[in-house]
Structure 1
């Protein structure tokens, strides 16, 4: 039995809407008291495919992790360059809408749009996002990399639920079509 796959954004944000500082730092996020992994493991089990932008991929690689964090998922990295695939990722470019429609036709679990802001903007512009799960940290950064970039789009959402993880609040929205 197959079900329709969804593109889901699962991301943390400061209260004023930034996903990282201008220097790409997430240190502020780890200074907030959470609960366990703040729902990450539960969410991670609902996806089998991960999509991210090249800047996000480069940030991950530069963290010096012992193992690629999405090793057990199909991982696509959107880039403007022609790069050779690795054992962990497939590099893609081209039309976002065409790519997503192809992914959604395959059987499987949901697809996680990890980030970053530029790729998220492209998915929003093409109306490719189905759900947002945004975990708000009680931090105001004042500037940084915004979750949502300015653009000529509007999305109407329906609240599916909220969860608290000590100081974090998770907001789960479905995009109204």
Structure 2
């Protein structure tokens, strides 16, 4: 069965972006190679993200979709016309993911953003979490883990360092 995985970076104080949606703080950290991204992306063939993250990504990439060789689904509260690379989804996240996991394929990467991740965490839909911690404190912004009525039990699978970054790889205990 396919796994739903989160692969994401955060500041030491738990933010994935500033309140202005900037990642400049992250890109200023000295890493090593691609910080494990290439190895990770080869394990997935499907990508899930929210509409706000999709819009940010398209703006940052000057309209060029960065994952043309992957199936990509974007969750939205309103209807949008599908593109060459993206299918927009308005149905229940849990039900949709359940169908995806039953299909043949590699892992499913839950990219973000914060609201989509919150739903996946709250409904206990994540199987593994790879968290790369950057040595920065940004004070405020978009938190990786929003407050709410949920708990996740994690089991450490491994750690690695990429120069200034520390990668923590967890299995979600269900």
TM over 0.5: yes
How far residue 67 of structure 1 moved from its aligned partner, in angstroms, is 3.0
SS in structure 1 at match of 2:60? coil
In the alignment, structure 1 residue 32 sits paired with structure 2 residue 22: no
Partner of 2:49: 52
CA distance in 2, matches of 1:63, 1:133: 23
Q: What residue is the counterpart of 1:80 in the other structure?
A: 77
Give the counterpart of 2:17 among 4, 15, 20. 20
**Deviant stretches of 4+, over 4 Å:** none
Q: 1:95 aligns with which of 92, 96, 103?
A: 92
Distance 1:60 1:148 in 2: 21
Whether 1:124 and 2:121 are equivalent positions in the alignment is: yes
Q: CA deviation at 1:63?
A: 1.1
State the shift of 1:64 in Å: 3.8
> Residues 12 and 134 of structure 2 are in contact (CA less than 8 Å); yes or no, is this contact kept in structure 1?
yes
Give 3-state SS (helix, strand or coil) of 1:62's partner: helix
- Which of 139, 146, 149 is the aligned partner of 1:142? 139
Aligned residue pair count: 174
Q: Could you say which residue in structure 1 is the equivalent of 2:170?
A: 173
Determine the C-alpha separation between the residues in 2 that align with 1:69 and 1:131.
23
RMSD between aligned residues: 0.8
In the TM superposition, residue 65 of structure 1 has moved relative to its aligned partner by 3.5
CA distance in 2 between partners of 1:93 and 1:47 (Å): 22
> TM-score normalised to the size of structure 1?
0.96
Unmatched tracts of structure 2, length 5 or more = none
Q: By how many angstroms is 1:167 displaced?
A: 0.1
Which of residues 148, 152, 159 in structure 2 aligns to 1:151?
148
Contact 1:96/1:126, CA 8 A, preserved across alignment: no
Shift of 1:66: 6.4
